[in-house]
Amino acid sequence: MCQSKSSLLEPNQEVLKIYRDYLQEEKRYSPHTVENYLRVLEQFAQFLTTKEKSKNLLQASSQDVSGFFVFLKAQRGLKRISQVNRLSALRTFYRFLRKRGFIAANPCDGVNTVKIEKKLPLFLTISEMDKILRYLGEKAQDGADFASLRNAALFELLYSSGLRVGEVVQLTPRNFDFASRMVKVKGKGGKERIVPFNESARERLLRYLEVRSCNFPNGPDQIFLNQRGRPLTSRGVRKILEGIVRALQIEKKVSPHVFRHSFATHLLAGKAELRIVQEALGHSSLSTTQIYTHLDWERMKAVYDHTHPHSKKVKQDD
C-alpha cells in the first residue's frame, strides 16, 4: 500500500525538529548556519516525495542521494562548490541519525564527494582598503552624524580584527578591554577566542560609543545599532558596505567577509606566523588558513612595506 504524502512528512517534521535542537543547543551553531543546514534537508525531503516511489528522510538510500545531485545539476545548474556543501550537510545529518539510532546505515557513505578546485579568497589590496578607511575616517570628522561615526568604527574593527560580520554584530561593551585593545568573541560552535584590534579601531569605537550613549541611552546591549536604535544585522552591514563601494567606484565585489580575507592576507604579507592568523580567525584547522599561503607573498610584502597606511602613520607619528 502506498503511503499518503502527509504520513510521509510526519517523520521528516519530527526528525528535523530534533536535529534543529541539536544544532542550536549542542553544537551552538548560529541561526544562519542552522537555516542553511535545514534548507538543504528540506530540498532533499521534497525531492524524495517527487520520486516515483515516495520516501521520507529516514528511508533514503545511496541511490536517492546520488539522484538528488544529478537532479540539482541537471535542473538547477548547481555549481560544484554548492554540490559539495549540500553533500556535507546531508552527510552530517545522516551521521547524526545513525548515532541516535534512527537509521542503520548512512546513505551518503556510498556517494563520492564532488572534487573542486580551491578558489583563492577575494581580498582588497592595501591601497583599496586604505581608500575605504580614509573615506570613512573623513566622514567621521568633528560634527559627524551617528551613522558616519558608527561606520568608521565598524569597518575599522572588521579590518583590524578579522572578525566575521556575524560575530561583530553580536558584540556588546562587555566583550571589550579597551585598555589592552582586546575583544572576546564567540565564534562558530560557541567557541570563544580573544582577538586584538588596533589603536585606530579603539579610538573610533570610543568616539562612536559616546554618541551612541547620547542618542540611545536605553538602547540594546549590542554595540552596533541602526539609526532606529535597533541592533545592526549582518544584512544591514552588507547594505552599508555596498553603498560605500558604490560611492568610491570600486569595481570588485566587496562583502564584509572580504574584510576578513584582507585582514589575513595583509597579516601574512607582513610575515605573520600562520598559527597566529589561524587563532585570530578562529579556524579549527590550520589547513583552512593555509589557503592564504597560495598568494604571491613577496609581491604583497613589497606593497605592504611601501604603501601600508598604518605603517606610514607610525613613521610619521614617531
- pLDDT tens digit string along 65-98? 888 887 777 666 677 778 888 888 999 999 999 9
Q: Is it true that 5-99 and 126-312 share their CATH fold?
A: no
Read off the pLDDT band of 172 (50, 70, 90). very high
Read off the pLDDT band of 1 (50, 70, 90). very low
Of the chain, the percentage scoring pLDDT greater than 70 comes to: 84
Q: Given a cut of 50, is residue 2 above it in pLDDT? A: no
Q: Given a cut of 60, is residue 312 above it in pLDDT? A: no
Q: Given a cut of 80, is residue 219 above it in pLDDT? A: yes
Mean pLDDT of 249-277: 86
More confidently predicted of 40 and 299: 40
CA distance 162 to 159: 6
* Residues recognised as catalytic: 164, 188, 257, 260, 283, 292
Q: Given a cut of 70, is residue 310 above it in pLDDT? A: no
Collapsed DSSP state (helix, strand, coil) of residue 231: strand
Q: For the chain, which residues make up each domain, given as ranges?
A: 5-99, 126-312
Task: State the CATH architecture for 5-99.
Answer: Orthogonal Bundle (1.10)
Mean pLDDT of 249-258: 92
Give the model's pLDDT for residue 73: 74
> How many helices (H) and strands (E) would you count in the chain?
14, 3
Give the model's pLDDT for residue 53: 67
Mean pLDDT of 193-214: 95
266: buried, middle or exposed (CB in 10 Å: 19+, 13-18, 0-12)? buried
Read off the pLDDT band of 144 (50, 70, 90). confident
C-beta of residue 310 within 8 angstroms of C-beta of residue 200? yes
C-beta of residue 106 within 8 angstroms of C-beta of residue 58? no
126-312 carries CATH number 1.20.120.1200? no
Collapsed DSSP state (helix, strand, coil) of residue 86: helix
Read off the pLDDT band of 315 (50, 70, 90). very low
C-beta of residue 102 within 8 angstroms of C-beta of residue 110? no
Give the model's pLDDT for residue 297: 46
Q: Given a cut of 80, is residue 119 above it in pLDDT? A: no
Q: Given a cut of 90, is residue 173 above it in pLDDT? A: yes
More confidently predicted of 268 and 41: 41
Give the model's pLDDT for residue 72: 79
